Amino acid sequence: MHRVSRTASSRPGHRRPGTAALLALLLATTLTGAAGCQDAPAEPLTIRIATGSPTAVYYAFGQSLATILNRELPDVRASVVITAASAENVRLVGSGAAELGFTQADVLPTTTAGSPAVDAVARVYDDQLHLVTTGGGPVRTVADLRGRRVSVGAPGSGTEITATRLLEVARLGDDEVQLERLGLDHSVAALRSGQIDAFFFSGGLPVQGITELAWRSATRLVDLREWTEPLRSRYGQVYVSRDIPRSVYGVDPVTTVADPNYLIVRADLPERLVREVTRLLMERRAELGAAHPAAGRMSPRSAIVTAPLSLHPGAAAWYRAAKP
């Protein structure tokens, strides 16, 4: 298994200023008798969670996780950051502009060269690639996208990467498809107004924006089952086939391409902090699942499968103790 980053202890000089003091603070808050300390209170530890569109899964999951961390970890102040999703999230966490973030597995580099300093906390759920069009429109297969206007997701999103790869294996180049790069909300609006003929979006079931679209107007999902194996052959084994049943959006069921999602963490965060984040992620699955069903599908046994990333030492310590 390739490791995208080394832990803080093995990267000389990598630990950010103040990390040792923050670790000491976290240790102190868990010790009995700490309330008797007369020292002035330290500044709260900021945890920024890089998510995605406000109507997609990352945001709902991140909001619920931030609520849990704020409630249960003393001196932690967690908040979410709206982003273009996966690729941007990896950059933000790797650069230190966020502490946690969500990403698709296919966005991650497969080698360590030039890769950002991130580790995994958990595999959280699988994204399904949606190809969405109008119910009465002409797009029924990927081949029908030829000559049409199609959004492949926002720049810096996991959707953009997966959708672009699918078009490549389908031999639909830029000269054959009029590509737009719109986020989920703008893609939905553009489809409804006739500015595009279809859009891709990769997300856990159900995606709120697609649910609302299907409720308001006739909507079709395009079956993508035939493209799983070509994607696996060219880009690796992370891709699998998954069903989207009628019960999800009230439209005809399809089989599509799925891709694992990870919660990632800045690799130089203290082990004790990341162990606590991992504990709460696993122990509060019911609460997270109430925020979005995809978040409730986690399990400690599946969470540890995070190739090509290594688990952060703090996360690995929790899993070892929990013995999933």
Residue ranges in the chain assigned as alpha helix (H): 19-30, 57-72, 86-95, 158-169, 184-193, 208-216, 228-235, 246-249, 271-283, 285-291, 300-303, 313-322
Answer for the pair 52, 60: CB distance below 8 angstroms, yes or no. no
Structural tokens at position 15:
């630990």
| pTM (predicted TM-score) | 0.79
Which of 51, 190, 178, 53 lies closest to 132 in space, CA to CA? 190
pLDDT number for residue 55:
86
Which of 264, 263, 267 lies closest to 19 in space, CA to CA? 267
The class of domain 127-259 in CATH terms is alpha beta
pLDDT number for residue 324:
66
pLDDT number for residue 224:
98
For domain 8-22+43-125+260-322, which CATH number applies: 3.40.309.10, 3.20.19.10, 3.40.190.10, 3.40.1160.10? Answer: 3.40.190.10
pLDDT number for residue 291:
93
Checking DSSP bridges between strand 219-221 and strand 45-50, what pairing results, if any?
unpaired
* Region of 219 on the Ramachandran plot (φ > 0 left; ψ -120 to 50 alpha; else beta): beta
Transcribe 140-199 into DSSP letters.
Answer: -SGGGGTTSEEE---TT-HHHHHHHHHHHHTT--TTTSEEE---HHHHHHHHHHTS-SEE
Answer for the pair 45, 18: CB distance below 8 angstroms, yes or no. no
Residues of the chain with CATH 3.40.190.10: 8-22+43-125+260-322, 127-259
What phi and psi, each to the nearest 5 degrees, are found at residue 286?
-65, -45
Question: Please, what are the averages of pLDDT over each run of 10 residues along the chain (324 residues)?
Answer: 41 44 47 46 88 91 98 96 93 96 89 72 96 96 98 93 97 94 96 98 93 97 98 92 97 97 96 97 96 90 93 97 84
The DSSP code for 304 is T
